[in-house]
Amino acid sequence: MYIVTLLCNPAKPCLDPSLVDSLRNAWGGGEATWLAPDIAAEFPLDTQPENQWQVWEDLQDLGVDLVLQPVSNRRKKMLLADMDSTMIEQECIDELAEEAGVGARVKEITARAMNGELDFDGALTERVSLLKDLPESVITQVLDTRISLMPGGPALLATMKADGAYAALVSGGFTAFTARIADQLGFDENRANTLLVAEGKLTGKPGLPILGREAKVQALEQITARLGIGEADVMAVGDGANDLGMLQRAGSGVALHAKPSVAAQCQIRINQGDLTALLYIQGYARDDFKG
């Protein structure tokens, strides 16, 4: 048995009941349940349709995401989340680079690394080198003035944690940022790279070892083992190539506004909705949200 979830951007409600009914009838689905009026609905389905991805593509043009997944075990016991462009709307290193006057160069490297075109470790080392001699105080300045939470994040954390889930933030970014974001949103732990500092300035070197793709997979393995749960009990979310390992191992791997090359390798792709989409696909209704 499968469940089909249709959803859109909550800031621009556009999910038409006639669209839901049309797809339900075409696929022979069961009765639809509305999780949020004009925003999210779901219906059960006995078999996986052959034209799933063609329909997904057609719905993208209408501003609607489609997710099809097994009914069993879709409400997860753990959230494993990337930070940059996932839990926050920015890439922290790009914002630091703007302050250092090397924004364009660093953004280009970041984009290529997140698309899987560059080795993550090498790309991070190169970008950090361009920040050499930037005052450490700029980190706080960037956090205060340039960083904003991704919409839906507070509700996602508050709702899953109220239901007993564990939340871990794993980032290829930096602890100076993950510490504050984790505290702000209520993550139980955070893992990230470190920016080395000497005499109040960035040295231009990251701490070693660099936390990249494999380190995120290790976090998945280590935390689930510690909690005594399976990888099938985990919902992972990210947008870049360095997230693919954990996205493909977790029970539900969500490519959120991801690079096309990343989304193409994931079964759950959210391009229209915000982070509350991760609640809707677990079967939470809007009235169930906390926070």
Same domain assignment for residues 84 and 209 = yes
In a domain, 190, yes or no: yes
> In the chain, how many H helices and how many E strands?
12, 12
| CA diameter of the chain | 67
Which long-range contacts link 44-50 to residues 24+ away (Cβ below 8 Å)? 44/1, 44/2, 44/3, 44/4, 44/71, 45/1, 45/2, 45/3, 45/4, 46/1, 46/2, 47/2, 48/2
Same domain assignment for residues 9 and 153 = no
Same domain assignment for residues 84 and 51 = no
In a domain, 134, yes or no: no
Same domain assignment for residues 68 and 158 = no
CATH number of the domain encompassing residue 3: 3.30.70
Four-CA torsion 151, 148, 221, 155, nearest 10 degrees: -30
Domain encompassing residue 253: 75-89+149-291
Could you give the number of structural domains in the chain?
2
Domain's final residue, options 10, 44, 72: 72
Domain's final residue, options 16, 47, 72: 72
Q: Cα angle vertex 128, ends 126, 134, to 5°?
A: 140
Same domain assignment for residues 85 and 227 = yes
In a domain, 220, yes or no: yes
Residue 213's nearest CA partner among 268, 172, 179, 248 is 172
Same domain assignment for residues 176 and 274 = yes
DSSP code at position 163: T
Name beta bridge partners: 36: 40
Same domain assignment for residues 157 and 19 = no
Name beta bridge partners: 78: 166, 234
- pLDDT, one tens digit for every residue, the chain (291 residues): 999 999 999 999 999 999 999 999 999 999 999 999 999 999 999 999 999 999 999 999 999 999 999 999 999 999 999 999 999 999 999 999 999 999 999 999 999 988 889 999 999 999 999 999 999 999 999 999 999 999 999 999 999 999 999 999 999 999 999 999 999 999 999 999 999 999 999 999 999 999 999 999 999 999 999 999 999 999 999 999 999 999 999 999 999 999 899 999 999 999 999 999 999 999 999 999 998
Residues forming the active site: 82, 84
Same domain assignment for residues 157 and 276 = yes
Same domain assignment for residues 1 and 61 = yes
In a domain, 132, yes or no: no
**And the tokens for 3?**
């469940």
In a domain, 94, yes or no: no
In a domain, 119, yes or no: no
In a domain, 123, yes or no: no
CATH number of the domain encompassing residue 280: 3.40.50.1000
pLDDT of residue 291: 81
Strand stretches in the chain, DSSP E = 2-8, 33-36, 40-45, 64-70, 78-81, 166-174, 189-193, 195-198, 201-206, 234-238, 252-256, 268-270
Same domain assignment for residues 287 and 191 = yes
Do residues 250 and 282 touch, judged by C-beta distance below 8 A?
no
In a domain, 22, yes or no: yes
Same domain assignment for residues 165 and 255 = yes
Domain's final residue, options 42, 72, 102: 72
Tell me the C-alpha distance between 122 and 113, whole Å: 9
User: Can you list the alpha helix ranges (DSSP code H) found in 101-172?
Assistant: 103-114, 120-129, 137-145, 153-162
Do residues 75 and 163 touch, judged by C-beta distance below 8 A?
yes
Same domain assignment for residues 177 and 57 = no
